[in-house]
Amino acid sequence: MPNSSEKTFHALNFIKNLKSDLRVVSIISMVVFLTVWEAVVRVGFVTPLFLPAPSMVLEDGIRLYERGEIWLHVSASARRVLIGFALAGSIAVPLGILLGASKFLKAIADPLLSILRPLPSMAWIPLSLLWLGITETQKYSIVFMGSFAPTVLYTIEATRSIDPVLIRAALNLGASRMSLMREVILPGALQPIISGLKVMLGIAWTTVISAELVAADKGLGYLIMHGREFFRTEQVLLGMALISMTVMLIDIAFRSVEKKITPWTRG
């Protein structure tokens, strides 16, 4: 009869193999999807003008890569997102922690947040063009305004989700307000704040694409709009694919940073 340690080893090995098999299943699923898509277009069920085959999108990508345009568009959009999102987060997260920790401050800020929260990023484009013109600063401002209010709200909820028993216990033990913030509130709220930031990073990409669709001469939004204007559907799909791949790469980098600053969540 196998002992408990051997059973544990076999169970862990089974889980590891299962995870590996699931990755293979995902890869096979994607290959089948692309193959069916390619076949449907090649046999004539779908006109390439409406839905180009994956090989056509790949050919357009190779052509733009050889001309050095892909990196130009990807880097422009990524820079706008990261700068605008970093500016929004650097202000929204500390503000959200303060508002979450103080009912009085939250009551003061609630009316303004209620006004800003429902406004889509597109609503800020006319004003930003009037104030800042067609500049990079205007793109940063669109990402900032599209990310700021939701990030504040995510942070408020993360701060308020901390068990009040822990706060009372720290206060009863003589913790000061600063110690309470540093030792209890921040560690307790950090993980949900990071989860909220990951969600907001995806939203930030939608805001920058909106700005680039209206007023830009480079970027993935511009690439999509340029393809639409010249009926180059493969370029439209290429821009969409590049957005997805860029967001995935940034998300992977975000997760690695998350593991380093929240090591207690690895288990």
Phi, psi of 96 (to 5 degrees): -65, -35
Mean pLDDT of the chain: 84
Per-residue pLDDT, 123? 85
Cβ burial of 126 (10 Å; 0-12, 13-18, 19+) is exposed
Q: Give percent above pLDDT 70 in the chain.
A: 90
d(CA 91, CA 178): 19
Helix and strand numbers, DSSP H then E, in the chain: 11, 0
Residue 243, SS3 per DSSP: helix
Cβ burial of 24 (10 Å; 0-12, 13-18, 19+) is exposed
The average pLDDT across 62-88 equals 92
Per-residue pLDDT, 103? 86
Tell me which residue of 14, 30, 36 sits closest to 241, measured CA to CA.
30
d(CA 9, CA 201): 39
| pTM, 2 dp | 0.78
For residue range 136-171, what is the model confidence (pLDDT) as tens digits?
Answer: 899 999 999 989 999 999 899 888 888 777 777 777
The average pLDDT across 228-256 equals 87
74: pLDDT confidence band, cut at 50, 70 and 90?
Answer: very high
Per-residue pLDDT, 9? 56
d(CA 88, CA 152): 9
For the ranges 107-111, 188-192, 198-202, the one whose mean pLDDT is highest: 107-111
CB atoms within 10 A of CB 182: 12
d(CA 237, CA 53): 10
19: pLDDT confidence band, cut at 50, 70 and 90?
Answer: low
Per-residue pLDDT, 18? 53
For residues 76 and 179, the model is more confident at: 76
**In contact, 230 and 180? CB cutoff 8 Å:** no
Per-residue pLDDT, 11? 58
For residue range 55-73, what is the model confidence (pLDDT) as tens digits?
Answer: 999 999 999 999 988 999 9
Q: Among 33-47, 56-70, 176-190, 193-207, where is mean pLDDT lowest? A: 176-190
All domains in the chain, ordered by first residue? 65-265 (1.10.3720.10)
